[in-house]
Amino acid sequence: MNYFGPKIFIDLQNLVNNYQKLVEKINGLSVMATVKANAYGHGAVEISKALEKEGVRYLAVFTIDEAIELRDSGIKSDIFIYSKMDPNRLKEVEENDLTINVSSFDDLNTLNDFHGKIKAHLKFDTGMTRLGIPFIKAEDFLKKAINTSSLYIEGLYSHFATADEGELSYAKNQLDQFNEILKIADHLEIKPKFIHCSNSGAILNLPESRFNMVRAGMLLYGAFPSDEVPHDISIEPVMSMTAPVVEVRDVKKGTLISYGGAYKTTTDTRIAVVQAGFADGVPRPWYVEGYVLFKGKKLKITGRICMDQLMIDVGKNNISYGDEVLIFGSNKNGSIDINDIAKSIDSTSYVLVTSIGIRPKRIY
Ligand SMILES: Cc1ncc(COP(=O)(O)O)c(C=O)c1O
């Protein structure tokens, strides 16, 4: 089939290089690669296969369905499920050899009634105020967990709320609490195989939080979680997006372009229509400062990005039907850092990569 439309290029070699750089940075500790939400829009199966080949120690998804998709595609690695334990699907967890998050007394009660063996990492809330047992209940929880016969406690973990920020006192406080919980676990003779706390921000900002495994997401995909972490690992973006020009026309000075007429040409010029819009993942607010790249030249996005198309001012550039422009990432046209787009529209690279629609063809 001849595909014509926006394309997402996934550079698996960059992924592998990023993974290797990360392992080097953390001196060979284990990596739990976060491949939830279709591997942040990159394609969970392809990304997981590439990382499995590299020997990644764990994969992490959010839902049990995401985990089963990976198993069905032949992934053999350990898979951790971040979401709240689903009391109705423990059999599937066991059958598919998955590892779950256990984060409440209710979870333990359910497990008490379960006949079988469930591998789990126990989650403690040290300041994210999401899932997890708060510090003051940690001891009771751990005591109850030891006496839950269907439960194999493979890991203990927590999650940072602010580890990608420059001001780290809150994150350090979270880490102190988690260390106290680990002491309690130790007194109870719980010897977890894995202890983990670090997301990408903490990997860079708080090396003392790495324990024996890190939960990396964004770094593997080649973007920094923020500007406030040391950029001292040479990662490369894995995802790039291009889209074809479908029409070019001459317009007079003063022509209004796109919905709301928010853009008015300041000279006689040429406007091209590009086949990619916000339904494909081009962030709509980007039109204010946004541009695409063609043969190294920045071409301004003119007017509001539509659902399926956007317009650019091509001036005197020789560009015609079928020519592909770079929306973000890098190729022979140059490069546009997704973090620069995110900054311009007060968003994050996390939001942008996970907003890629279902239409763009992913090319590996
Ligand atoms: C529990 C948990 N751990 C780790 C990560 C990975 O975070 P990052 O992509 O910043 O490395 C996430 C991502 O949101 C998460 O929810």
Going by alpha carbons, the residue nearest to atom 14 of ligand 1 is: 217
203 pLDDT more than 80: yes
Radius of gyration of the chain (CA): 24
Which numbered atom of ligand 1 lies nearest the CA of 199? Answer: 11
Pocket test for ligand 1, best of 15, 22, 34 (most atoms within 8 A of CB): 34
Residues at CB less than 6 angstroms from ligand 1: 34, 82, 159, 199-201, 215-218, 225
Going by alpha carbons, the residue nearest to atom 16 of ligand 1 is: 82
Residues 21-69 have pLDDT tens digits of: 999 999 999 999 999 999 999 999 999 999 999 999 999 999 999 999 9
Torsional sign, CA 107, 111, 116, 121: positive
Which numbered atom of ligand 1 lies nearest the CA of 62? Answer: 16
Q: State residue 2's pLDDT score.
A: 87
Q: Do domains 12-216 and 239-363 have the same CATH topology?
A: no
175 pLDDT more than 80: yes
Instruction: Return the CATH architecture of domain 12-216.
Output: Alpha-Beta Barrel (3.20)
Which numbered atom of ligand 1 lies nearest the CA of 34? Answer: 6
Distance CA 153, CA 225 (A): 30
- Taking residues 78-94, what's their average pLDDT? 98
CATH number for the region 239-363 comes to: 2.40.37.10
> Is residue 253 annotated as a catalytic residue, yes or no?
no
Going by alpha carbons, the residue nearest to atom 9 of ligand 1 is: 217
Q: State residue 334's pLDDT score.
A: 93
- Taking residues 215-227, what's their average pLDDT? 96
DSSP symbols for 161-201: SSTTSS--HHHHHHHHHHHHHHHHHHHTT---SEEE---HH
91 pLDDT more than 80: yes
Domain boundaries, the chain: 12-216, 239-363
> Is residue 119 annotated as a catalytic residue, yes or no?
no
- Taking residues 261-288, what's their average pLDDT? 97
1 pLDDT more than 80: no
Phi, psi at residue 260, to the nearest 5°?
80, -5
Number of neighbouring beta carbons within 10 Å of residue 306: 18
Q: State residue 185's pLDDT score.
A: 98
CA of 219 to the centre of ligand 1 (A): 10
* Options 7, 19, 25, 36, the catalytic residue: 36
Going by alpha carbons, the residue nearest to atom 8 of ligand 1 is: 217
CA of 308 to the centre of ligand 1 (A): 31
Q: Show the beta-strand stretches assigned E in the chain.
A: 7-10, 30-34, 58-61, 78-81, 99-102, 118-125, 133-134, 151-158, 194-196, 213-216, 239-251, 256-257, 263-264, 269-274, 291-294, 297-300, 310-313, 324-331, 334-336, 361-363
- Amino acid (1-letter code) at residue 132: G
156 pLDDT more than 80: yes
